[in-house]
Amino acid sequence: MIENTPLALLPLIAAILTLSARFYVREKAISIFKLSFIFASLSGLLLIVYMVLRVLDSLPPYAWAGFGGFGLLLTLVGLLTFNR
């Protein structure tokens, strides 16, 4: 099952990396109130929440799909707006 593997967290990790790179490269890390920094922080927070819920064994069924889907969405937003 995919919910028992760390593969479900790859989209969130990719979102953190993409949005952090956008924040430092494109926006010159000017302010923590930039949208890419906020999205990267949100991705990190979701990653931590997923891992804590997994350890406490209180993840609802198919939660990996929601976390992974949101991570994929944030990754795509970061990639599509990188050159903007």
Site of tokens 């976390």:
67
Interatomic CA distance for residues 3 and 61, integer angstroms: 9
In this structure, are residues 39 and 71 in contact, taking their beta carbons and an 8 Å threshold?
no
User: pLDDT band at 3, cuts 50/70/90?
Assistant: low
Q: What percent of the chain has pLDDT over 90?
A: 0
Site of tokens 């890419």:
36
Mean pLDDT, range 10-32, rounded to an integer: 77
pTM: 0.73
Tens digit of each residue's pLDDT (9 = 90 or more) over 57-80: 888 888 878 888 888 888 888 888
Average pLDDT of the chain?
78
For residue 55, the 8-state DSSP code is H
3-state secondary structure of 84: coil
Burial class of residue 45 (count of CB atoms within 10 Å of its CB; 0-12, 13-18, 19+):
exposed
The residue extents of the domains of the chain are 2-80
